[in-house]
Structure 1
Amino acid sequence: MKIYINLISKKCLLLTGILLLMFSSCTKDVLKETPLDFLAPENAYSTVPGIKQGIGGLYAAVRQNWYYGPNDAVTQMYGIGTDLSYFGEDPASARFLTDYSTFLTPANSYSSIFWTWNYQLVQRANVLIEAIESSNAAIWSNEAQKNAYLAEAKFFRAFAYRILVSFYGDVPLVKEVVKSAKTDFVRAPKSEIYKLMEDDLTFATSKLPVPGKEEAPGRINQGAAWHMLSELYLTDSKYQLAVDAATKVIDGYGYALMTKRFGTRLGKDVFGSGDAYFDLFGYGNQNLTSNTESIWVIQVEPLVTGGLFAEGERAFGPAYYRMGNTPDGFPAFRGELVNGKYTGLSDTLGRPVSWIRPTNYVSYNIWRGNWNNDIRNAEHNIKRNFYYDSPSSKFHKKKIDFSLYPAGSRDALRDTTQYIYPYFMKFVDPLNHFTDPARSGGGQNHKDLYAIRLAVTLLIRAEAYVRLNNPNAAALDINKIRVRANATPVSSSDVNLDYILDERARELYGEEWRAITLRRMGKFVERVRLYNNNPKVPGLNIKDYNHLYPIPQSQIDLNIGAVIKQNPGY
C-alpha cells in the first residue's frame, strides 16, 4: 500500500512532491499507475481473502504500536506521565516522560508518535473502507459478511481518532483515502471528529458479530463497539446515551464478572492461594469461553512468527537482580540454574527493568481502609515482600530489608525506585516463560492482554451516572466490582469522579489508558501534580497547557497550503 500523506511521513511527502514536479508536463495516463505486478489496494483488496488480510493488518498495527515493544508510547498507555507511575530506572531521565517541561515539545519525536501512528491507522482503515464499499458484490457470501468487515475497519478508524482527539484536541478530519501529496490540512472541531466516531461505532454495533460468533479469538464484536460508543458518549457529554450504550454491553450479551477461580492457574499458585482476579491474568485464560469478563483481547502467541510478546515484566517490575549483595556481602540473588550456571534471575519474577514504577498513590494510598481484605491487594496480586536468594549468606530466605545495611552503603533512591517496589503480578507469568531461559524470559511473556473487559464498562457507566447526579446507581455498579474484590462496598454519598478514578486504579492499573480517562474527567493536570511523586521531578513539572500534546512541528512545517495552529503553550 502506498501512502502519500504528510500526516504520516515527511519523507513520503517530499518524495511525492518531487515526483509531481518532475512529471508536471506529462499526461494523466503517464502518471496513472496500473498495478500489474505489485500489490496495491486496487488488486490486493479485490477479494475477500485480500480484504481479510487488510483487516488483520489493522489488528497487527494496534498490537504492535500500543501493546508491544520497548517504546515510550507503550509506557504512556500504561500510565507513565499520569498519577499512576513514573520512570523508576532513572527518575531524572529525559526519556519516558519524567519532565513535561523538557519532554513535551513540538520537536520531540516521542510526542509525535501518537499523531503519526494514529493517522497511519486512519489511512489504512480508509483504504479498506473504500475497497469494501466499492467491491464487487459477487465476492461476498452475503451482505452481512461485507458489512461485518466494513464495521471492523470503521471501528479501528474510531479507535485512532479516540487517541488523536484526546491527545491533541481539534485535529484534521480525514475520512477518505489520501492518494496524492496534500499540504492543506486544517484542524476540525472535536465535535466533527466525535460525529464521525459516533457514525462509525453505531454502524459497528449492529454489523459486527455478536460475542461468541467472531471469526477468531481477538476479533472485535458488538460488545466492544457498544463499549467504545459508551465511552465516546461520555466524552461528548451525552451522559444518558453513555448509560444506555454501556447497558447494552452489561445486560445484552451474557457478560459477567468472574467471581470463581478458573483456568490454567488452578493448582499452580506461586505467591499465595490465588483468586478469580488473579486468574483473569493467567496465561491462556483471556480467550476461554468460560471467561465471561473478556470483551476484546489482544492476541499474543509464543513461538509463532509474528506472534510477538508482551513487555509486562520488563516494563512494570523492579530490577531486583541489580541490587547487589546481602548485608553480609554475598550476591543477593542466586537465581535459576541454566546450563550449569546460576543466572541471578528468578523465573517467578522474570527480568524487569523498572520502566514503570507505581506512585505511592497506587502502591499504598488507594488501599487504605481495605488493606487486608481487598483481594487485589493480596500478596499474590501485588508482591510487596522480596526475599534473599543466597545460600551462602546468613540472610538466605529472609525478607530484604535495606535498614540492615551499614549507613551510607546503599543508594536509597535506586533501592526504592529501581530495585525493590510493589510489583503488580497481573503483568507477570511466573514459571511460564517460553523463551530466553537464561534470563527468565528476558522481561517478556506471552499472555494475551485485555483491551476491554466488563469491569471497565461498569466503571464507564458509573461515571455516566455520577454526571447524571445519580450516585445510587453509580454505587451499585462500583460495588459489583468491589464485592468481587471482597472490598467494603462504597456508600453512594462517597461516590464522585475522584472515587471512580481511585477504583479504576485499583481494578485497572496498567490496563486502561489513564491519560485518556483523566482528560475526559478534566482532572489530568490536577492529579499529576497531586499524586505523581517522582522523587527527582515531583509532579513532573506539568503545566496547565500540558493537558494537550503539541502538534508535531514537522506537520505544521509541511502543511504549506494551510495553517495548522499550534496548541496553546507550545
Structure 2
Amino acid sequence: MKLTKQILGIVALGAMALTQTACQSDSDFLKEHSYKQDDSGMFNSENEVAMAINSCYKEVNYLVLGQTHGYHSYMLTGVGLDTYTENNNNDCFSNWTKLNSANGYSRHWYNELYYLVNYANTAIYAIETKDIKYSTDEKKNELLGEARFMRGWAFRMLAGMFGNVPYLDQPTKKIEMGYKPNTRQEVWEKCYDDFKFAAQNMSKTERKQGCVTRAAADHMLAEICLALGKFDEAIQATSRVIGGQDGDYHLMTTRFGTEASRATDRYGHSLAADKGGAYWDLFATPDNGSGNTNQDYGVTGNKEALWTSQFSVGNYTEGGSGDAWWRMRNNTMEGDFMSNKVRNCGTNRTDNGVKFYLFGDDAMCYPAGVQGGSSSLGVSTSAIAAGRYQANNTRDSIGGGYAYGSNRNWPCRYIFDPQEPGYIWAKATDPAQPGKADFRCSETMMQSDWYTPGGTKWSVQYKYAKDREKAHPGNSAYALTAGDTLDIFPRFWKFSQDKHPNGDVKECEYEPYMIRIAETYLLRAEAYLAKGDKQKAADDINVIRDRANAPRCSAAEVDIDYILDERTRELFGEEHRCITLNRLSVNPNCGSYVTSKYPTQDEKTSNTLYERVRKYGMSWNNATDQVNADFGREKITYTKNDGSKGIRFIPNIKPYNYQQPIPDDVIKSNSGAEYPQNYGY
C-alpha cells in the first residue's frame, strides 16, 4: 500500500543490477540467464513454510515491543484510555485533538498490520498451492491453522483499531490502487473463519517456544464470537481451553518456576501460594533472566501462558531487546511502567536534610562490590542495597526523576488512589470474608510505599512535608503547590523483579503475555453475562479472585463494568484494552448486557469507550487551568470517598475516538476506489 516503499525497492534492485553488470565482461553480459527470485522458488518444504510463518512472529514482536518503546508500542494495551495514560499532557492520547489522519502512530499500526497480513497470506498461499511433502498427515493443516491464526489476529487488530478496512486473502504481488474497504462486521466474520479453522486443526503443543497453539486459537475465537454476538459459541470455545480439551493449560495456583523457593519478597511480604504467591511467580524474573513468562513448560512449569511475545531464550548476558545505553538504565518496559519519580516534584525540599530516591537504590546500583568507574557514585548505606555502588544518574534531593529514567506510563487515579470514586480495589478486603486480601494490589505486586536510603518509608516523609506545611501557614517556603505536588504512582512489580538482576546494559526485557488463561475465564464470564446467567459469570470471576486471595464477588455485582474492572485488576498492562473497548462500542451484536450500562452507542454522541475514558481517564491537574481549558478539558468538582472535595479535568476525548483515523496517505494512494475516512477525522 505504500508506493514510496515499492519505488525504493525498484531503485534498490536497479542499483544492484548496475553493480553486478559492472563486474561482468561484455561476453558474459550478453549471455542469457534465468533468474528465479520470486516466491515460486521459495517455500517448497515444510521447514521453509515454517520459516514463512516465523516472519509473522517477528512482526508481532515488533508491534508489541518496537525497536524502542514509544507510545505507539502501548496503543495495543490502551494508552490514554481508562487504565493508564502517557506522561505528556499534550500528545495524541492525552490531548485527543491531536489524533488525526496524519498521525504517525495510527499509520505505524495500519502499515505494520498489513505487513503481517501479507506474511500470513504468503505462508497460506504456499501451503494451499504447492505440492509439499509434510512429516505427518496432520502437519499441513497444523501449519495452515497457525498461518490463518496470524491472519485472523492481524485483522482482529485492524478491525478493532480502524473499523472498515480492506480484507485481503491473497499475498500482494503487484501495486494495487483500488482497495475497497470491508465493514468491521465483515472483517470480524472473516476472523471467525480463520480462528475456527485454527482451533480445529492446530496442534495442542507449541511448534517452537513462543508459538501459538490450539488453545490460543479457541481463546481468540471466543473473543470474536463475543464481537459477533455468538455467545453460545464463545462459551464452547472458552470451555475447551479451560476444560483441558485444547491441551494442558490451567490457572497457576501453586508456586512454580525458578523463584518458587522464595518465601518472601525483599521487604519481607509473604509469597505463600494461599495468599496469592503463584500470581507473583507469573512475572518473576530471577537473576539470570530466565523469567517465568516464557512458554517453556519443561523448565518453569508455566501452564497459564497461552501465548507470549517471545524473543529471548537464555539469560541476561545474551542481550535482548533492552536498550543499550552509555550509562546504566532500566529495562525499557520496566522503566515505562515502573514509577520512579514524584510527579511534578518541582523544587520542593525537605528541611531536615533527608534525601531519598524513589526508585530504590538497588534499581540504580551496580552489583555488590562492583564499581562502575566514573559512572559510579559512593557506596549505598541503604539496608536494602548495602555495599552497592550507586549509578551516576541525575536525581533531585526529594526523589525526583532520574535522567533517562522517568516512567512513560501513568496509571489512572481510580487504580491507585483509595479516595477516588470507583477505586477498583475498594473490595480488596471484606469483613464478612476474614483472611481475604487481594494479592494483586498488595505491596508485593503494587508497591505504594517507598523507602529512603536510610530505610524511612516515603509515607513518613510525605506526612512530614504535609505537617510542615500546616505548621507554617501562609509561608510559601513550606507550601505544597500544584507545581510541587507530591503524588507517587505505585510500582507495578509485574513488569519487573523486586531485585534488579545485575545492572548490565545488555539486559533483556520483560516478555509480555499476549494471552493468559485468566483472560479466558473473563471472556467466558462475559459470555455468561450476555446470556443472562450472572451466577456462572460470578463463578468464573471467582476462580481468578480465589487465586489472588481476593474476596469473592456475588452474582448481583456482576455487570459489564465489573468485568472491565476485573480485567484491569488481573490484566493491567497486558490486556489489549483498545480492542476490548472497541468491540463493546457501537456494536449492535452486544445487546443489553452492554446497553443496560451504556445505552447510547454511536460515533457522534456516546459509546462505551468514550464514557469509560471520560469517567476514569487521566485528570491533568498538574497542567494549569488555562492549558486544560485551551485543550477543551472540562473542569469539575467532585466528592472523594473520604468526603473531601476534589477537582478533576475530564479528558477531551470524542465519541468517534473509539476507532483510529484511516491514515491520510492510504486514502490518497488508493485512487482507484473510494476509501471513506472514519467519522470525525
Asked if the contact 1:16/1:181 (under 8 Å) is kept, the reply is no
What does the per-residue CA deviation read over 1:388-441, in whole Å, with 9 as the maximum and x for residues that have no partner?
1269xxx69884415367655667557556xx311111001233435536xxx8
- Segments of 5+ residues of structure 1 without an aligned counterpart are 1-5, 20-32
When the two structures are superposed, what TM-score results if normalisation uses the length of structure 1? 0.85
**1:142 counterpart SS class:** coil
Structure 2 CA distance for aligned equivalents of residues 59 and 43 of structure 1: 23
> Mapping of 1:306-321 within 5 angstroms?
307-309=320-322, 311-320=332-341
> Mapping of 1:36-51 within 5 angstroms?
36=36, 40-51=38-49
Evaluate the alpha carbon distance shift between residue 456 and residue 558 of structure 1 in structure 2; reply closer, same or farther with a 3 A threshold.
same
Evaluate the alpha carbon distance shift between residue 152 and residue 376 of structure 1 in structure 2; reply closer, same or farther with a 3 A threshold.
same
Deviation of 1:446 after TM superposition, in Å, equals 3.1
Asked if the contact 1:429/1:447 (under 8 Å) is kept, the reply is no
**Residue 619 (structure 2) aligns with:** 534
When the two structures are superposed, what TM-score results if normalisation uses the length of structure 2? 0.72
**Residue 184 (structure 1) aligns with:** 178
Higher radius of gyration, 1 or 2? 2
Structure 2 CA distance for aligned equivalents of residues 171 and 220 of structure 1: 25
Deviation of 1:54 after TM superposition, in Å, equals 1.9
**Residue 433 (structure 1) aligns with:** 501
**2:138 counterpart SS class:** helix
**Residue 29 (structure 1) aligns with:** none
> Mapping of 1:500-539 within 5 angstroms?
500-522=563-585, 523-535=608-620, 536=623, 538-539=649-650
**2:308 counterpart SS class:** strand
1:544 corresponds to 2:655: yes
Deviation of 1:452 after TM superposition, in Å, equals 0.8
What does the per-residue CA deviation read over 1:494-549, in whole Å, with 9 as the maximum and x for residues that have no partner?
11100101111111100101111112223111100011133145343111111111
1:157 corresponds to 2:151: yes
Structure 2 CA distance for aligned equivalents of residues 564 and 304 of structure 1: 49
1:370 corresponds to 2:377: no
**Residue 74 (structure 1) aligns with:** 73
**Residue 520 (structure 2) aligns with:** 457
What does the per-residue CA deviation read over 1:67-92, in whole Å, with 9 as the maximum and x for residues that have no partner?
3431222222233111111223x3x2
Structure 2 CA distance for aligned equivalents of residues 430 and 461 of structure 1: 33
Structure 1 CA distance for aligned equivalents of residues 317 and 255 of structure 2: 29
Asked if the contact 2:84/2:412 (under 8 Å) is kept, the reply is yes
Structure 2 CA distance for aligned equivalents of residues 186 and 34 of structure 1: 37
Structure 2 CA distance for aligned equivalents of residues 345 and 86 of structure 1: 25
Asked if the contact 1:518/1:524 (under 8 Å) is kept, the reply is yes
RMSD, aligned α-carbons: 2.9
1:562 corresponds to 2:562: no
Out of 263, 270, 273, the residue aligned to residue 273 of structure 1 is 270
Structure 2 CA distance for aligned equivalents of residues 183 and 115 of structure 1: 16
Asked if the contact 2:44/2:132 (under 8 Å) is kept, the reply is no
Evaluate the alpha carbon distance shift between residue 227 and residue 352 of structure 1 in structure 2; reply closer, same or farther with a 3 A threshold.
farther
- Segments of 5+ residues of structure 2 without an aligned counterpart are 13-32, 272-276, 286-290, 323-330, 378-389, 395-400, 418-422, 430-435, 470-475, 586-607, 624-632, 634-648
Asked if the contact 1:429/1:445 (under 8 Å) is kept, the reply is no
1:203 corresponds to 2:197: yes
Deviation of 1:305 after TM superposition, in Å, equals 7.2
Asked if the contact 2:107/2:663 (under 8 Å) is kept, the reply is yes
**Residue 292 (structure 1) aligns with:** 303
Partner AA of 1:50 in structure 2? E
Deviation of 1:331 after TM superposition, in Å, equals 4.4
What does the per-residue CA deviation read over 1:33-89, in whole Å, with 9 as the maximum and x for residues that have no partner?
9654x5x4333322333222222221111012113431222222233111111223x
Out of 473, 490, 513, the residue aligned to residue 422 of structure 1 is 490
**Residue 236 (structure 2) aligns with:** 244
Structure 2 CA distance for aligned equivalents of residues 558 and 448 of structure 1: 37
Asked if the contact 1:258/1:293 (under 8 Å) is kept, the reply is yes
Asked if the contact 1:386/1:399 (under 8 Å) is kept, the reply is no
Asked if the contact 1:525/1:543 (under 8 Å) is kept, the reply is yes
Structure 1 CA distance for aligned equivalents of residues 458 and 175 of structure 2: 65
Evaluate the alpha carbon distance shift between residue 414 and residue 454 of structure 1 in structure 2; reply closer, same or farther with a 3 A threshold.
farther
**How many residues matched?**
529
Out of 51, 60, 78, the residue aligned to residue 62 of structure 1 is 60
Structure 2 CA distance for aligned equivalents of residues 400 and 188 of structure 1: 58
Partner AA of 1:511 in structure 2? E
1:133 corresponds to 2:112: no
Evaluate the alpha carbon distance shift between residue 411 and residue 73 of structure 1 in structure 2; reply closer, same or farther with a 3 A threshold.
farther
Share of identical aligned residues, percent?
A: 30
**Residue 22 (structure 1) aligns with:** none
Deviation of 1:125 after TM superposition, in Å, equals 0.8
